[in-house]
Amino acid sequence: MTLALGVLVSGNGTNLQAILDATRDGSLDARVSCVISNKTDAMALERAARAGVPALAIPHQTFDTRAAFDRALVSALHEHGAEWIVLAGFMRVLTPEILRAFPGRVVNVHPSLLPSFPGTNAMRQALAHGVKLTGCTVHFVDEGVDSGPIIAQRAVEIVDGDDEHTLAERMHAAEHALLVGVLRDIAGGRVRPSIGAERPRHG
């Protein structure tokens, strides 16, 4: 099936770009219905606009509560026909508002081999701990922080002399490939929605 994706972003949007490139070259059977950022100056919005995709800024600071902000996101996502939601560098913890609106159909990409190094600054955490292997994870989103069922992971080696910049270059390449691959599996029915506490069901 052709996936109708709503992509939530906060920053540069390189994972978004990987999705846009894959939909354009036909390697991913999906369309990006809209891109929404909680930051008005996010580079990801420019990437979406250049691709002809609706690019919306909904600043979270203008809402009294997290739930009210998430309700505004849900309204915009529904308005643009999104069916699956991708968190691609979205630096907000979701409330149940979005999870109820898109049950089992919200996925996130995170720059560590979860459950190691959840939350922010995952690459900095990995370097500080001196681990020799890290990686990235695509997982279903639940009400916790990077705690939902894991769909797929890819390892990234940490080499001598690595800093956050050099590690990030390799991490981003791994994230792009992993995220697009998971979305391809969802489109092909090989990964199905994860409901409640169930593990993801592979076809």
Buried b (16+ CB within 10 A) or exposed e, 74-87: bebbeebebbbbbb
Q: How far apart are CA 38 and CA 138, in angstroms?
A: 21
Token code pair at residue 44: 């990801």
**CA 118 from chain center: how many Å?**
14
Catalytic residue ranges: 110
AA letter at 50 = R
Token code pair at residue 67: 């739930």
